[in-house]
Amino acid sequence: MGDLLQVNGLTKKFGGVTAVNDVSFQIGEGEIVAVIGPNGAGKTTLFNMISSYVQPTEGEVLFKGKKLTGRKIFDLAHLGISRTFQNLQIFSNMTVLENVMMGTSVNLKTNVFSAGFRLPSVKRDEEYAYKAAYDVLTMMGMNDLLHEQAGQLSYGLQKKLEFARAIVYKPELIMLDEPMAGLNDAETNTMAGYISDLKEKGHSFLFVEHKMATIMQLADRIVVLDFGTKIAEGTPDEIQKNEKVISAYLGEEVI
């Protein structure tokens, strides 16, 4: 199993404050890696640097051996990377189906010229986008909500919708920022099931999450941050026994 993603010495300074300090780790093909740490540990800043949402002060990120650092965030989809955000990024006034169809745009060949003249390629793209979105929504048990307005869905269903849009174009690496936040136990278990199924199909994941039981269930490896510095990395079993991790959490649930 080769490295799909390499994070090399990422550092981010905001003025005199170092939010992330010299963090390195790798993600292998078909591997799930979680980033954990107390509030303010630098998890989101690290996540944003890896996904080119924020540029690092030092260090670099490589995807399949190619440098990601310095690229625009919208370039990542074409490279085979998707991500979700802590705050839902859905199109509230569009239908469920339309939201997920938007996620297929990276695989479409239509341009403004061909769309304006309704060339045959436009119809093929529309048919592809519909089928891809329909198949993903069916897989996630949402095919009875295709024409519902996204903004009218419950929070749990909106989280599922954002996940569906992130995976519809079959990215190799899926980055999830707190995918279980706000979900009840049943919804959390369902989301974990989707992630496990996709891993079996060869997808890799990097995710930030606070629900420790879910992390221990899903992750192959865990990277632990404290005050912006990596203090531990290992399997779930190794992390649960790590004294530095237990100390950093100061009584928070680690097991």
Q: What is the pLDDT of residues 105-157, one digit of tens each?
A: 765 555 434 444 455 666 777 888 899 999 999 999 999 999 999 999 999 99
Name the band, by pLDDT with cuts 50, 70 and 90, for residue 248: confident
- CA atoms of 35 and 83, how far apart (whole Å): 14
List the one residue out of 179, 205, 148 whose CA is nearest residue 86.
Answer: 179
If asked whether residues 143 and 25 sit together in one domain, one would say: no
Q: Say what the pLDDT of residue 254 is.
A: 54
Q: Say what the pLDDT of residue 121 is.
A: 61
Q: Say what the pLDDT of residue 128 is.
A: 83
If asked whether residues 65 and 21 sit together in one domain, one would say: yes
If asked whether residues 180 and 252 sit together in one domain, one would say: yes
If asked whether residues 12 and 130 sit together in one domain, one would say: no
29 has pLDDT over 90: yes
If asked whether residues 131 and 156 sit together in one domain, one would say: yes
| Mean pLDDT over the full length of the chain | 89
| pLDDT, mean of residues 68-76 | 85
Q: What is the pTM of this model?
A: 0.88
Q: Say what the pLDDT of residue 158 is.
A: 94
Q: How many CB atoms lie within 10 A of CB 10?
A: 25
| pLDDT, mean of residues 192-206 | 95
114 or 10, higher pLDDT: 10
If asked whether residues 49 and 94 sit together in one domain, one would say: no
If asked whether residues 34 and 158 sit together in one domain, one would say: no
End-to-end, the C-alpha distance of the chain in Å comes to 28
If asked whether residues 48 and 106 sit together in one domain, one would say: no
- CA atoms of 67 and 118, how far apart (whole Å): 37
Domain boundary (139, 169, 199) is at 169
199 or 2, higher pLDDT: 199
Q: Say what the pLDDT of residue 133 is.
A: 94
Name the band, by pLDDT with cuts 50, 70 and 90, for residue 87: confident
Domain boundary (136, 169, 202) is at 169
If asked whether residues 161 and 130 sit together in one domain, one would say: yes
Provide the number of structural domains found in the chain: 2
If asked whether residues 8 and 36 sit together in one domain, one would say: yes
| pLDDT, mean of residues 226-237 | 95
Domain boundary (169, 188, 217) is at 169
Q: Say what the pLDDT of residue 253 is.
A: 54
204: domain CATH number is: 3.40.50.300
- CA atoms of 119 and 173, how far apart (whole Å): 33
Q: Say what the pLDDT of residue 192 is.
A: 95
Q: Say what the pLDDT of residue 251 is.
A: 55
| pLDDT, mean of residues 186-204 | 95
> Looking up tokens 């004294």, which residue turns up?
243
Tokens of 55: 């540029």
DSSP annotation of 57: S
- Torsion angle in degrees (nearest 10) through CA of 78, 81, 87, 92: 40
If asked whether residues 182 and 131 sit together in one domain, one would say: no
Range of the domain at 111: 89-169
Q: Say what the pLDDT of residue 116 is.
A: 45
89 has pLDDT over 70: yes
Q: Say what the pLDDT of residue 109 is.
A: 57
If asked whether residues 133 and 176 sit together in one domain, one would say: no
